Amino acid sequence: MRLRISVLTAATLLASVVVAAPAQAIVGGKDTAPGAYPAVAFVKISGSFACTGTLVAPKVVVTAGHCGSLTGSLIATPIGWPPSMIAVTLGAESPDGPGERATVSSVRIPPDYLATTGSDISLLILDKPAKTTPVRIAGRGGEGAWAPGVSETIVGYGLTKEDGDIPDHLQEANVPIIADPDCAKSYPGTDFTTQICAGFPQGGIDSCQGDSGGPLFGRRADGSLVLVGATSNGDGCARAGKPGIYARIADAPLREWIRGIAGDAVDADASAAPATPTPVAGPKPVVRPTTCSKPRRLTVTVKRIYRGKLRSVVVLVAGKRLTTLRSGKTSTRVVLPAGKPRTVTVKLVMRLKSGKQVTDTRRFKVCGG
């Protein structure tokens, strides 16, 4: 499966000068109308890689995690590119074309992002508010804008075909959202909490390399644009039975992470919680520790260990080893005894191709019942 970032060379950067525009691009797309998508950003990293992004708040551009991050493929320690190495142009109708230039001051990556899993977004924080009007992310209650079967608009500066050329004009196309169970048939193991699929069964229209981080636009009831996803990856480009995979930006996990950093990047929720009544003076409630009424079975599954050899997975509860998942196995089940909530520690021990041993420890609270 290929990430949809493109490598820029002198030849591709000069393509707009020496080569006529391809008839279609983004794979199966068309040239955008002048000024149609001012919030779409051309993102160039280190002068060598190209991605697409979307201005979602005056000082925030959303792009792909694999565009903004230096994250390694094994350990969840997301680190962004140095801001000085990222160039952002808003509203450009061609790669490196004229538009509003923006300076990146910092990069934010979801803490659980791995190059081989979901949560494939990064936030480029600008040093000052852009003059361009942002396109916000759909809030809670706006799920109708990205329901299965709904036609969405993809926009980007990506290749015209798999292993093809970068177009000399921003491209757009329409693709339908695919239901999660149908997408799972094409991509088993997809993380549908942070990923969503869009495309046609027969292929032919899709995002491609260079479109990474680019918008998957839905529409509000009034017809205005709202951001529901960002281009992530896929098996090739526009292949039959292999739709595009997009970061599920408008669903709770990624949406609320973004809202916590930039509240003005997300639409107001459709149904706000009722106002909290003013408390009346009286005795304070007694808080008792929660207990687990019965044992709970916990399944630990390891997926997509990439470019390394899994040595072991150790499951510990309150420091006590319950089980060890040995190399060659991918799943184990343990029974957590009833009682007070407890912390479960899952420790992955891996050996890289270089011979170096690396550990990745995850902790979470769990309660039976």
Distances (CA, A) of 167 to 4, 33, 134, 174, 214: 15, 15, 24, 18, 15
What is the Cα–Cα distance from 204 to 184, expressed in whole angstroms? 20
Torsion of CA 59, 62, 63, 68, to 10 degrees: 50
Distances (CA, A) of 52 to 22, 67, 230, 257: 19, 9, 9, 21
Question: What is the rounded end-to-end Cα distance, in angstroms, of the chain?
Answer: 39
- 191 is known as an active-site residue: no
- For 75, the token pair is 């350990």
* Pairing status of strand 40-45 against strand 195-198: unpaired
In DSSP notation, 178-226 reads E-HHHHHHHSTT--TTTEEEE--TT------TT-TT-EEEEE-TTS-EE
Handedness of CA 129, 231, 223, 273 (dihedral sign): negative
| Cβ neighbours, 10 Å, residue 222 | 5
Distances (CA, A) of 258 to 43, 79, 146: 19, 17, 18
- For 367, the token pair is 């309660």
- 232 is known as an active-site residue: no
What is the Cα–Cα distance from 165 to 235, expressed in whole angstroms? 18
Which residues lie closer than 8 Å to 221 by C-beta, 6 or more apart? none
Which residue among 31, 120, 168, 206 is the active-site one?
120
Which residues lie closer than 8 Å to 200 by C-beta, 6 or more apart? 175, 176, 243
- Give residue 204's Cα distance to chain centre: 23
What is the Cα–Cα distance from 302 to 69, expressed in whole angstroms? 23
Which residue among 6, 31, 66, 94 is the active-site one?
66
Which residue among 212, 232, 251, 267 is the active-site one?
212
- 66 is known as an active-site residue: yes
Active site residues: 66, 120, 212
